[in-house]
Amino acid sequence: MHPDNDLPKLASCTTCRFVEDKSNYWTAVMYFQHQNGSYSRVPQMANHNTGPGLQSGGMTVYYFQPNGGIPFTTFPKGFRMIVGNPMKRRNDIPSGDTAAKAVTFRCFTANDVGAGTPGDAPDTFEFPRNPCSYGIRSNIYFPQCWDGINIDSPDHASHVAHPIGGIFSTRCPSTHPVRVPLLFIEIVWDTRPFNDRSLWPRDGSQPFVFSMGDPTGYGQHADYVFGWEGDSLERAMRQCTGGDGIPWKCPALTVQDTDAMNNCRLPNQVPEVVEGRVLPTLPGCNPIQRGPAPATMVANCNAPSTTTNAPMPTEPPVAVNPPWTVCHSGPGPNNVPIVPNCSEFPGFTGAAVAEPTAPPAIITGV
């Protein structure tokens, strides 16, 4: 994607709650590996407090102003960055390094649905080792310190850095002195259909892998390409400082309902089956690489690599029914400031609701 592209002008809609946000947010996809080596894609589901209406998968994106009111600048046109390393297969980051908490997992259970700062214990750098009855959440913090010059770098990471002393520290390294907003992403993976221990590997290991062939979770990563309209992000960061995260309490931006979000879709443009059935291999040329050595690229890949003009999807979007409410509908008053009221914004969704189902039948002889 060329940095001169004007994403807001190229985009006809957005899956984000704010109409002005035409940015690109990307993460690898999670798969469940069956005992015979085949794969099923793990669905995504609506996060806590994202209603009214159920989002059809996706992620929750947060922009935080720096602590202490220190000066900061919003991202310039063409800015992009990556966090995490898709080739990583072992935990070799010192525990005191800010990067040690940049990409982690939270195991949701019936008794623990998410208290505590993301990245802190008991969240883990690797995939959870036991079934998570309410699903797994990815916690992803992007770097917040910029060199102030380059909107990208050859590795898409060297022009940015994490602050010194922790995710919410106010100290940037001298090599990256310009503070930018803290961009934080949460993705909730609906692992509930795969919680039956009899489906898990017989050697006692956990069964989830990322689409680039990572069975450890250490290779979790995410990409960001800035695409907000005009100065809309700048205005929002200066004006919307309430801290409750409820979108319609930010008057600087335009809010759309869940129907509009769910119906902003594109077809799969690479002619390869990636979901909807049990797959004999991971998409692309991505064999499982367990490490601890870094993963390597596969030579002479023969997987599809060109896009096609696929027709737009005509089937209605489907939303997974999460094990929690996404807004407050009563009874009684809402005493939690960060929980939106279901009646506050017209967010009724036309997406069909899919209850979690057991994984497809295991294919033998693959």
pLDDT at 353: 57
pLDDT at 45: 96
Give the end-to-end CA distance of the chain in Å, rounded to a whole number: 37
| Domain count within the chain | 1
The 3-state secondary structure of 50-100, one letter per residue: CCCCCCCCCCEEEEECCHHHCCCCCCCCCCEEEEECCCCCCCCCCCCCHHH
pLDDT at 268: 85
Which residue range forms the structural domain that includes residue 94?
A: 1-366
pLDDT at 269: 85
Mean pLDDT by 10 residues, the chain (366 residues): 85 95 97 97 95 92 92 96 98 95 95 82 96 97 98 97 95 97 97 96 96 98 97 95 90 93 90 93 96 95 83 85 92 90 67 50 32
pLDDT at 115: 75
pLDDT at 112: 72
pLDDT at 5: 85
* Partners of 354 in the β-ladder: 320
pLDDT at 319: 92
pTM: 0.93
